[in-house]
Structure 1
Amino acid sequence: MSKRIVRPAATALLVALAEASHAQTPDGNAGITQATSMITGYFSAACTLMYAVGAVLGLIGAVRVYIKWNHGDHDTSKVAAAWFGSCIFLVVVATVIKSFFGL
């Protein structure tokens, strides 16, 4: 094909695509708004899940530290600090996510 035919056809195609994309802008805004509300709901559930996991880890850690303490292990304080630190980390992360996203 010659350049005389291809250039005008390509230009017409690009103009048609540009007009079609401008016509869909309101639907795109509605989609972004809907996605934002859905993700906000997921963050709330994720924060609740983090609190639950922190509680379960706290219980498991307390039992493990108690067993080590009863056996007379010397590294009981190190294990207790590790378990306690992980629980505190989960609670702090969940609280920061809630405050950051305004949930």
Structure 2
Amino acid sequence: MEKQRKKILLAAVLILSGVSAFAQGNGSAGIQEATQMVTSYFDPATKLIYAIGAVVGLIGGVKVYNKFSSGDPDTSKTAASWFGACIFLIVAATILRSFFL
């Protein structure tokens, strides 16, 4: 009874080790496919960031215009922060794209 249990256990270990040896061949192909999938998302993501930047730029421009029209003394600070945010979005999208691709 004990010998039969050992034989079954040995056969199971051999089968499982053989299966894992055959499964290791597709590791590099899987990594290459995942890399290609991730890099394919950068073009749409960059365009989305640019679109968000355009909307934020328009909203910020209207906000600065309203402050300027009303004679608010804080207009230059608002304009500088709006301009900095627009530049940051454009530069961040460009740097991320060039860094990962």
> TM-score, normalization: structure 2?
0.80
What is aligned with 1:41? 40
Offset at residue 26 of structure 1 (A): 2.6
Aligned-residue sequence identity (percent) comes to: 49
What CA RMSD, in Å, does the superposition of the two structures yield over aligned residues?
Answer: 2.4
Q: In the superposition, relative to structure 1, how do residues 18 and 83 fare at CA in structure 2: closer, same or farther (>3 Å)?
A: farther
Matching residue of 2:92: 93
Taking the TM superposition and a 5 Å limit, the aligned residue runs for 1:70-85 are 70-85=69-84
User: How does 1:1-103 map onto structure 2 within 5 Å?
Assistant: 13=12, 16-102=15-101
**Cα deviation, residue 12, structure 1:** 6.0
Q: Distance in 2 between matches of 1:86 and 1:6?
A: 70
SS of match in other structure, 2:72: coil
Larger mean Cα displacement after TM superposition, 15-24 or 35-44: 15-24
Change (3 A) 1:12 1:42: same
Unpaired runs of at least 5, structure 2: none
3-state SS of paired residue (2:41)? helix
Q: Cα–Cα, structure 1 residues 17 and 75, in superposed 2: closer, same or farther, change >3 Å? A: farther
Call closer, same or farther: CA 1:27–1:85 in 2, change over 3 Å. same
Count how many residue pairs are aligned between Structure 1 and Structure 2.
101
1:23–1:70 CA distance, 2 compared to 1 (3 A): same
In 2: Cα distance, 1:84 partner to 1:38 partner: 34
Q: Give the whole-Å Cα distance in 2 for the aligned partners of 1:29 and 1:9.
A: 34
**What are the superposed Cα offsets for residues 5-59 of structure 1, whole Å, 9 maximum, x if unpaired?**
9888777655543432221123232222111111101122111111111111111
